[in-house]
Amino acid sequence: MRRRLYYVLPSVPAARAMLDELLLARIEERHIRFMAREGALPKDMPECGFMVKTDLIHGAQLGIIIGGIAGFVAGVLLVLMPPDGLTMRTAAILLMALGGALFGAWASGMNAAAVPNKKLEKYAERIAAGEVLMMVDVPLRRVREIEDMIAARHPDFSFAGEEPPMLAFP
């Protein structure tokens, strides 16, 4: 399990120094992401991807729930009131729920891909002003260690918050 920490750094050189320090603290580069104005970060620094910048994940999750419920209701109605000459089995309920969930995930995910991430909206002004947002996914047992290290070495970096624990997917 990992916890995502957010820090707002004053400039790109400060972000570069912070990346080097986190790498020395044995935080892998794939767990560190930066978000800055368009074109401000050098190519060799890990930038936020499409999935982080947009609400795609949240939208797809919402679509699965809503689509699954709608598909389940449609399946129940289809079994209770089948078309003339057809007999429906209860497996139709499961198939309709699954189809609804898949369609809901696709449709809602497509819509959410055009919406900026709600969690990152509060940093938009600071990013536009030239600051850099750093997101680092830290193992739960090392959260305090990393926070203390950053606070001791860089008291001018503002701690912007943390998310609840997330599963560590490769």
Spatial separation of the C-alpha atoms in residues 2 and 136, rounded to whole Å: 9
Task: Kindly indicate the confidence band of residue 170, based on its pLDDT and cuts at 50, 70 and 90.
Answer: very low
What pLDDT, in 10s, does the model give residues 117-152?
777 878 888 888 888 888 888 888 888 888 888 888
Spatial separation of the C-alpha atoms in residues 112 and 83, rounded to whole Å: 36
**Least-confidence region, from 60-64, 69-73, 98-102, 163-167:** 163-167
Helix axes 143-153 and 12-24, enclosed angle (nearest 10):
130
Task: Kindly indicate the confidence band of residue 169, based on its pLDDT and cuts at 50, 70 and 90.
Answer: very low
- Tokens read off for 63: 């679509």
Tell me if residue 133 falls in helix, strand or coil: strand
Is pLDDT of 18 > 50? Answer: yes
Spatial separation of the C-alpha atoms in residues 51 and 58, rounded to whole Å: 10
What pLDDT, in 10s, does the model give residues 74-94?
999 988 888 887 777 888 899
DSSP element (H, E) containing 7? strand 2-9
Spatial separation of the C-alpha atoms in residues 118 and 52, rounded to whole Å: 10
Percentage of the chain exceeding pLDDT 90:
21
Q: What is the reported pTM?
A: 0.71
Is pLDDT of 162 > 70? Answer: no
Q: b/e map of 52-85 (b: 16 or more CB within 10 Å)?
A: bebbbebbbbbbbebbbebbbebbeebbeeeeee
